[in-house]
Structure 1
Amino acid sequence: MNYLFREKLRQLRNHPGVTVPEDSVFQLPEKVLQFGTGAFLRGLADFYIDKANRQGVFNGRIVVVKSTDKGDLKAFERQNNLYTLCTRGIIGGRVEEENIISSAISRVINAKSQWSLVLDLARNPAIGMIISNTTETGIQLVQDDIYQWPPVSFPGKLLAFLYARYVAFSGAADAGVVIIPTELIPENGKKLEAIVLELAHRNGLEAAFIDWIEQHNQFCNSLVDRIVPGKPEESVHKELEEELGYKDELLITAEPYHLWAIEGGDEIRAKIPFYGIDKGLVIEPDIELYRELKLRLLNGAHTLGSGLAYLCGFSTVVEAMSNPSFATFISNLMLTEIARAIPYPVPDGLAAEFSRQVLERFKNPHIQHQWLNISQNYSAKIQSRVASTFLNYEKQQAHFPEYATFGYAAYIYYMKPARKDGDKYYGLANGDYYLIQDEKAAFFYQKWQMSSMEETVKAILKDVTIWGKDLSKEESLVTGIAGHLLSLKQNGAMETLEMFLAETEYA
């Protein structure tokens, strides 16, 4: 079986189960710069651009910048940057399946070894949009030098590109671009803009350039919603390749549901030529409702469930949701706690309806979404997705939410390192070690050395950067979490969960 590559497309055009790009797409100009090679952008933003090209609407391709050390570019090179997006799932009880060979990406550049090629793109007048997904930790202000090769941070790289573009076009107004970060943090566009402007000042760049950024470039807040687990497990991957008739190292799976909400009005709609090609692409002046529903209910439930599910022995979301106890926990968490405490006005019934849609999506048998992947950057996700809802519930109800408190306990226990290897920390669950991929791993390693469980809990709950406030003086919360932790230690996660559900139902 051969790999997917450009010359094979003609043979595949008669394949009834695959959407294959036309040869003409390879002649389209490069119009988009993308920071991030990950499955999520390829399964959502690039999906829309590929769809627009197939409809003859956008007629432009994407240059992707790889900034991390993880992985290499050999698969992209071997496959002429082609990859298959396999959509599988159920919407409203209806089965949906689709296989699309995406030709949205024209090339992938390694920032560390090919930074000059990124800066060369700044001189391309056709580039009108920049998109990114660098995880929650990517949009942060760090000291950076735009003359480094390359700058360290994503905002630093973006600033270096914008400055090169400003110089190349002598500050022309029409050389500005639309910048749409998709990182899942509140007001991602505004935050990115503020960091870029701060870095411009710190790098001593001229006032005229800073004015050009503010006046002729648009940083748009955006919200993305699609479960894109990425490359499926080996057995499923092989089955899909047999069905398709070719090998594809870049193949990714996704659910049918997709939403990309971009904040903006008519000016932004005019600058995004593929607006209107899909009802899932929304451009509105206020996208906060979309963001809150998705961030709190889908991502919040994912986050609060991830440590618990893995400790219970479940590898994937669908495996966990097939267990009645875990499914009850997630359902009650969403419907009785999160939906009631979203810190934004939500029309009556909408949160409950969205919750039911999310539960259907979680039970999608075709999506093998790994809990270990969901638990990456766990602490940052607790802070951005859960903390404000947790505090808002306590403010409204005058007591802390029981299910979320249990989720907090599972998070703390998941973050307990059982082994340290250099600067890496490993937890232990069901006899196997797992890497704790979290910037707070060293913090938890230190706190878990304390002599008593209550002392440990207080020390951890004191960290405002995780919880949004110092919770160490909340005696009922400290006692509740310490009790759950002792049970997790003595009885294991599954038995502790079942006891918790029995107690809350009885209460």
Structure 2
Amino acid sequence: MQTPIIQFGTSRFLQAHALAYFQTGTPLGDAPAVTVVQSTSDPTRRSRLDALSAQGGYPVHVRGLENGQPVDREERVGVVRRGLGYDGDYAELERIFVQEARWIISNTADRGFDPQPADDLPSPDPAQSYPAKLFYLMRARHLAGGGPLVVLPTELVPGNGDKLRARVRDMAVAQGFDPAFLDAHIWANSLVDRIVSEEIRPAGAVAEPYGLWAIEAQPGLVLPVIHPAIQIVPDLEPVQRLKLHILNLGHSTLIDLWLRAGQQETYVREAISGPLRKALLDIMETEVLPGFALCGMGDQARDYLAVTLERLDNPFLDHRLSDIAQNHASKVDHRITAFLAWAGLSPDQAPKLHAISQSAKDIAP
């Protein structure tokens, strides 16, 4: 049993994103086969790990709107051939990494790249950060004469491939190992997007129909499948701007409207189907889209806004407004204030967005 794809992380997001796309995509060669690695020592997740590789696969329940039509279907994902725990199965993991791997996938949360005290240890340890774990496995592969890998981090970190490579290089230097061998690998920057609203136990997830895995092109980049949601793009910057300054900005603008209106609704789908919709659309049409047009992205922004509104209208999605409202001031700074600066919009050109930005500054701690 060969598994050329190794995935670090068992999150419901990866279950309904990368693994689901490997299942439904068109293979470029052999059918995808995956080893999933539980990189933490959490014993409560062992049942999930076992269920991911169970015969018959696990369910992904896709619910929402697609091209204006309701979608409510189940997909079975059966590409996972093994589940390993980093702490209990390290010898087998190293063997697979050295002998079988071609692609490395990861989603280790927003802080997964952060250094940990255990990174200073001279050998692999479950308490180490993901870059430290990856260094020891890559070193073993290098010493065994293994070829280059395609490394595909999906963590929501700008320039995630570059940052992961830099952290692994830091580990190599700290351990007295020449980091030059890391340059043979492909370290891909990517951006992922799909709302995965619920888990299904012991494995599986509920997700919206929309999904995106945008990967920045570079020489030597080869993927295991072709899939409509997987896009190879020359530059991630436009994709990041669309997501940050339409979808995410729209969420934070909706929260501002919701807070000022008295917080009557519980879910996004309720707010977007009520009186707040007109106010949100007015801001998007009169301030956000013109800002994108000034930056040469008017048509892209209008198309992306249409898709975003369909996602917000999802009648099945219990997306709590109170969850989006957490850290509201910080989100406004990254989503709205940064948009105004990027597009060069003055208070006269975008009065409502400037008012939201100033209001968030006033309430920030």
1:178, CA displacement in angstroms?
0.6
The C-alpha deviation readout for 1:31-82, integer Å capped at 9, x for no partner, is: 21212211221111111111247x6854232222233549522144256443
1:30–1:126 CA contact under 8 A, matched in 2: yes
**Structure 2 counterpart of 1:323:** 274
State the distance in 2 between where 1:350 and 1:80 align.
39
Find the aligned partners of 1:387 and 1:201 in 2 and give their Cα distance. Answer: 39
Aligned counterpart, 2:137: 161
1:305 Cα deviation from its structure 2 partner = 4.3
* Match 1:290 to one of 210, 234, 239: 239
How far apart in 2 are the matches of 1:321 and 1:70?
40
- Count of paired positions: 357
1:222 pairs with one of 176, 183, 190: 190
Matching residue within 296, 299, 313 for 1:363: 313
Q: Aligned partners of 1:283, 1:390: CA distance in 2, in Å?
A: 28
The two structures have a TM-score, normalised by structure 1, of 0.61
Identify the match of residue 204 of structure 2 among 236, 239, 251.
Answer: 251
Give, in whole Å, the separation in 2 of the partners of 1:159 and 1:328.
51
| Structure 1 counterpart SS, 2:314 | coil
Name the TM-score, length of structure 2 as normaliser. Answer: 0.82
Call closer, same or farther: CA 1:323–1:137 in 2, change over 3 Å. Answer: farther
Structure-2 residue corresponding to 1:212: 181
Q: State how far apart, in whole Å, the 2-side matches of 1:384 and 1:113 are.
A: 41
Structure 2 partner of 1:36: 9
Q: 1:356 and 1:194 mapped to 2: Cα distance?
A: 37
Say which of 14, 18, 24 aligns to 1:51.
24
- Counterparts of 1:43-442 in structure 2, within 5 Å, are 43-52=16-25, 57-68=29-40, 69=42, 71-78=44-51, 80-81=53-54, 82-123=57-98, 125-141=99-115, 144-145=119-120, 147-167=123-143, 169-170=144-145, 172=146, 174=147, 176-205=148-177, 207=178, 210-214=179-183, 216-231=184-199, 249-265=202-218, 267-268=220-221, 271-274=222-225, 276=226, 278-303=227-252, 305=254, 312=263, 314-325=265-276, 327-341=277-291, 345-371=295-321, 374=324, 385-392=335-342, 395-398=344-347, 402-403=352-353, 405-406=355-356, 409=359
Compare CA radii of gyration and give the structure with the larger one.
Answer: 1
Work out the CA distance in 2 between the residues paired with 1:223 and 1:282: 10
SS in 2 for 1:267: coil
Q: Deviations over 1:125-148 (max 9, x none)?
A: 221111122333333455623625
> What fraction of aligned residue pairs are identical, expressed as a percent?
27
- Give how far 1:351 is off: 1.0
* CA-CA distance at 1:85 after TM superposition: 1.0
Could you say what secondary structure the match of 1:396 adopts? Answer: coil
Q: Gaps (5+ residues) in structure 2?
A: none
Gaps of 5+ in 1: 1-27, 233-247, 413-453, 461-507
Deviations 1:222-245 (A, max 9, x none): 12222221337xxxxxxxxxxxxx
Greater RCO, CA 8 A, separation 6+: 2
Deviation at 1:266, TM superposition (A): 5.7
CA 1:299–1:200 in structure 2 vs 1: closer, same or farther (change >3 Å)?
Answer: farther
